[in-house]
Amino acid sequence: MDIDSLSKQTISNEDIAAEIDFTADFSRELQRYKGRLTGTAQETACARAIRSRLEAETDTPVRMEAFKAKPALGRGCFFMLGIWFLLSYALYYVSFAGGRLVGILLTLVALFNFAIGSVIILLLFLGNKKLSGILSDEISYNVVGECCKNRDRDVKERVIVIADHHDAVQGSILRDYGLIRRLTVLLCPISAAVFVLFCILKMAIGTESPDASVKISVFTVVPAVLGVMGVVATLFHYSPFARHAKIPNGLSICTAMATYAYFAEQPELLPDDVRLVYASFGGENSAHSGAEAFIKAHPEFHNAAVICIGDVSGSEVKIAEYDPIRRLEFSTQLTSSVSGVAHEQGVEISTIPHRTLLQALSQLHGYPSTAFAKHNVRSTTLMSLGEYVDDKTESRMFKLAVGTVFRLFDDIPVQKDGSSATSLNLGQAEMRAISSK
């Protein structure tokens, strides 16, 4: 069978029905691991379940690879901002106990404490690895499987990676997450601005006579009211506790697994020089820790094409082409391949907008492809978003993912003998394989 016929392969109704049955069954099993935040026992159990099920489905070896992750990096550190804000307020109110000079110095300390601490925490929130050394480590796991038709290591291989992530997103103490999110976006900037303003006014005006009681009342009551609202909103926005984690629906995991299994069970569909890799990342919501660890542990895949399956939580198919916060452009080649397959299959697909400030802020944490783009590895992220998942969402995503793999057989250039690829400066591999866990 030649490559042209492979790229036009039609997925049978039997394969689609099998994928739907698999998804219905395994997504229910994944619901058992609700609190699978980075580095938790639930996340490890989920990774173990994925490995066991994929081995059973494909009869191919699948391994767990351990790496060090920092649960408080990314979303996990946001509650620290509330604690730091509370500490800064405590220093501010202590400044009322001293005289004029002592009061100014203590207020200045409170102001600098708030400013420096907030900048550091916000950088950690955005995933800054240089500052992450102050955070504690936990062990997390990636699940990795590989299949190919030709075991000849002398063949110049083209690598295609199908990836998902199995960790949960930090939730809120409050059930209405949308409400607390809106309150946080509104109240936190206001309370922070008021705190800075009143620190400056207190140092400039002071609280001495005349009208000392009026000044003290104004400088204590107004910041206290707005400060409490800001602190509460910040502490409640992202909870560090596993019991408050958002419950993932598992559809993205099932889509990626089913796509890999489709080819692993029919290796004759793969060209001789193609290696297909499945990767399920742990720690994705901790600044893409799993994807980063995968890249560092597998420099042999630096020339791969990586299709990340993001959230499958609605019926609108989307593709991410750019990380506006970090100014990282994802692979135009892969984005075009996915879009071309969607057009062939009659699937309406659109790119996630990122031109306005609000659109950019909605993508603060980036995508799985963010980690790959940082290391110049070709990647894009495919998602299905919206208010609800319709009956055809899962089969649509499965057909689109499988069709994209077929399309990449044509779109990825065949490596010639003697060709060399520029290696990445990935540093020392930090991952180790776990044969049984």
* E-strand stretches of 138-223: 138-148, 158-165
30-41 mean pLDDT: 92
Between residues 21 and 1, which one has the greater pLDDT? 21
Question: Is residue 4 over pLDDT 60?
Answer: no
pLDDT tens, position by position, 173-187: 877 777 777 888 888
Could you give the 3-state DSSP secondary structure of residue 433? Answer: strand
Model confidence at 165, pLDDT cuts 50, 70, 90, reads: very high
User: Which two three-digit tokens encode residue 329?
Assistant: 């452009």
pLDDT tens, position by position, 45-91: 999 999 999 999 998 999 999 999 999 998 888 888 889 988 998 88
Question: Is residue 131 over pLDDT 80?
Answer: yes
* Rounded CA separation 73/125 (Å): 6
300-309 mean pLDDT: 94
CB-CB contact of 339 with 309 (8 Å): no
DSSP 8-state assignment for residue 133: G
250-273 mean pLDDT: 94
Element (H, E) at 384: strand 378-385
Q: Shortest CA distance to 56 belongs to which of 82, 74, 29, 34?
A: 29
The pLDDT value given to residue 435? 40
Give the percent of the chain with pLDDT over 70. Answer: 89
Model confidence at 333, pLDDT cuts 50, 70, 90, reads: very high
Could you give the 3-state DSSP secondary structure of residue 239? Answer: coil
pLDDT tens, position by position, 280-299: 999 999 999 999 999 999 99
* Rounded CA separation 205/431 (Å): 57
Between residues 253 and 217, which one has the greater pLDDT? 253
CB-CB contact of 69 with 282 (8 Å): yes
Element (H, E) at 328: strand 328-329
The answer for residues whose C-beta is within 8 angstroms of residue 34's C-beta and 6 or more apart is: 42, 168, 245, 247
* Rounded CA separation 433/437 (Å): 10
What are residue 320's phi and psi, to 5 degrees?
A: -95, 125
194 CB neighbour count, 10 Å cutoff: 16
- The one-letter amino acid at 238: Y
The pLDDT value given to residue 45? 96
* Rounded CA separation 163/257 (Å): 9
pLDDT tens, position by position, 382-413: 999 888 888 788 899 999 999 999 999 998 88
Question: Is residue 415 over pLDDT 80?
Answer: no
* Rounded CA separation 239/71 (Å): 12
DSSP 8-state assignment for residue 34: T
Give the DSSP per-residue string, 394-416. Answer: HHHHHHHHHHHHHHHHHHSPPPP
Give the DSSP per-residue string, 256-277. Answer: HHHHHHHHHT-GGGS-TTEEEE
**Residue with structure tokens 């990282």?**
328
Question: Is residue 418 over pLDDT 70?
Answer: no
Quote the radius of gyration of the chain (alpha carbons, Å).
25
* Rounded CA separation 212/200 (Å): 17
Residue-averaged pLDDT of the chain: 85
334-354 mean pLDDT: 93
Could you give the 3-state DSSP secondary structure of residue 383? Answer: strand
What are residue 297's phi and psi, to 5 degrees?
A: -80, -15
Which one of 3.40.630.10, 1.10.10.60, 2.40.10.340, 3.90.1300.10 gives the CATH number of domain 3-68+136-171+245-434? 3.40.630.10
The pLDDT value given to residue 154? 59
CB-CB contact of 294 with 279 (8 Å): yes
Model confidence at 419, pLDDT cuts 50, 70, 90, reads: very low
* Rounded CA separation 28/331 (Å): 33
* Rounded CA separation 217/189 (Å): 23
Question: Is residue 431 over pLDDT 60?
Answer: no
The answer for residues whose C-beta is within 8 angstroms of residue 128's C-beta and 6 or more apart is: none
Between residues 11 and 30, which one has the greater pLDDT? 30
